[in-house]
Amino acid sequence: MKSETINRPSSAQAIIDVIYRRRAVRSYTDQPVARNIVEEIIDAGRMAPSAINKQPWKFYVLMDKATIKSFSKEIAHVALKDFAQSGIKKITQTTNHLLHFMHDFNFGALSDPIFHGAPVVIFITAPRDNEWAPLDIGMCSQNMMLAAKAFGLDSCPVGFGKFVQHTKIFSRLNVPPSEEVQISIILGYGDEKPELHTRKNDNIIFID
């Protein structure tokens, strides 16, 4: 709980509103997203802080529906195979993974089970030898999703995008072997308004 309510200047309020209104959206309209908006969103990502200012991110952008669907199907295929194989090895851990997976897996949209019918998919990569890359890419991704919300778009981080590296069509992205896909971000005009997941609030420890 906040100890007191603070007065927020309107510019701060606008940013806070965007932070609070962003949701993981898993259903999109057919409205295409203009390329210059995608570029603006990526520019916001580039403004993220990065360890030793390495700016490790690279962005591989898909904006063609048919291409997105084919990547989605290939990734779903690889992801399911991976989960099935690990099930033989570690049954408990796999059950947890599967439960989580089924929550995120969009059975309702079998033509695009991974990217939820979004018109834009951005794979973000970083050099494999950068130990801070996952943190940097996380910050970059959040900047992008907040910028998207500010432009009236919705988004979802899609961790399953990482599996693209094991698909047979990965070469179409032309990602060099020195880079690793860290995450994918989907963008589009949302066709649902998901409920807010209540946030845990017992996790602040002030040290006197």
Ligand X SMILES: Cc1cc2nc3c(=O)[nH]c(=O)nc-3n(C[C@H](O)[C@H](O)[C@H](O)COP(=O)(O)O)c2cc1C
Query: Nearer Cβ to ligand X, position 87 or 157?
Result: 157
Residue 83: C-alpha distances to residues 44, 76, 91, 107, 128 (Å) = 34, 11, 10, 16, 24
Query: Nearer Cβ to ligand X, position 7 or 193?
Result: 193
Query: Nearer Cβ to ligand X, position 89 or 197?
Result: 197
DSSP symbol at 48: S
Decide: 75 and 106 in contact? Cβ < 8 Å: no
Question: In angstroms, rounded to a whole number, what is the distance separating the alpha carbons of residues 72 and 30?
Answer: 17
Least distance (Å) between residue 206 CB and ligand X: 25
Least distance (Å) between residue 48 CB and ligand X: 15
Decide: 161 and 120 in contact? Cβ < 8 Å: no
Least distance (Å) between residue 158 CB and ligand X: 4
Least distance (Å) between residue 4 CB and ligand X: 26
User: Which residue is at the shortest CB distance from ligand X?
Assistant: 159
Report the C-alpha dihedral over residues 131, 137, 139, 143, rounded to 10 degrees: 160
Least distance (Å) between residue 155 CB and ligand X: 9
Three-state DSSP at 56 gives coil
What type of residue is 6?
Answer: I
Query: Nearer Cβ to ligand X, position 34 or 132?
Result: 132
User: Interface residues with ligand X (CB under 6 A)?
Assistant: 23-24, 26, 104, 156-160, 183, 194, 197
